[in-house]
């Protein structure tokens, strides 16, 4: 994954979908409210990657919450970055934590969490959660709003 610390490189440009997360570029922009704790949320309800063993598609509902530090993620670059996993073979845990760590490195957030709600593979849903540190006191963050998998029960 390439990062662009100097400003958005993809915004306003016609850009082809990257073939892999390694080819994707994440852009950041300055936070217009530095020093203010607020939560920004991105939801990708149709996230797709490939099983590294079978090559079959895996699907997830990804929810990313973060309290910005000096930077915000530029949303077009995030969309392209997340889409780049469609041809990427990795386990659920690897995809979820990699996304979070890439964003944490790029953005230097005050706090970040990710919920990867993966649809069942082999009859077992796998949910993966990761966060940086503690949510700042007094900061409101809503529930991620994804119901636990209940099957037909």
Catalytic residue among 27, 58, 65, 95: 58
The single residue of 51, 94, 102, 127 carrying the catalytic annotation is 51
At 40 the three-state DSSP class reads: strand
- Count the Cβ atoms, other than its own, within 10 Å of residue 110: 22
Report the alpha-carbon distance of residue 67 to residue 136 in Å, rounded: 8
How far apart CA 50 and CA 29 sit, in angstroms, is: 30
| Residue 143 falls in the annotated catalytic set | no
- Residue 51 annotated as catalytic: yes
Segment (H or E) for 107: helix 92-107
Structure tokens at 38: 């607020």
Whether 77 and 106 have beta carbons less than 8 Å apart is answered as: no
Which residues carry out catalysis? 51, 58
């Amino acid at each position: 994954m390439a990062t662009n610390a100097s400003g958005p490189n993809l915004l306003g440009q016609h850009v082809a979908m990257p073939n892999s997360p390694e080819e994707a570029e994440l852009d950041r922009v300055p936070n217009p409210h530095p020093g203010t704790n607020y939560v920004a949320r991105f939801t990708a309800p149709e996230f797709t990657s490939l099983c590294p063993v079978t090559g079959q598609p895996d699907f997830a509902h990804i929810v990313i919450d973060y309290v910005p530090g000096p930077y915000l993620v530029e949303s077009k670059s995030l969309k392209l970055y997340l889409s780049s996993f469609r041809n990427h073979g990795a386990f659920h845990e690897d995809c979820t934590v990699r996304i979070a760590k890439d964003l944490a490195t790029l953005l230097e957030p005050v706090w970040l969490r990710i919920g990867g709600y993966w649809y069942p593979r082999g009859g077992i849903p796998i949910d993966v959660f990761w966060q940086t540190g503690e949510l700042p006191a007094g900061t409101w963050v809503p529930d991620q709003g994804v119901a636990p998998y209940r099957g037909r029960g």
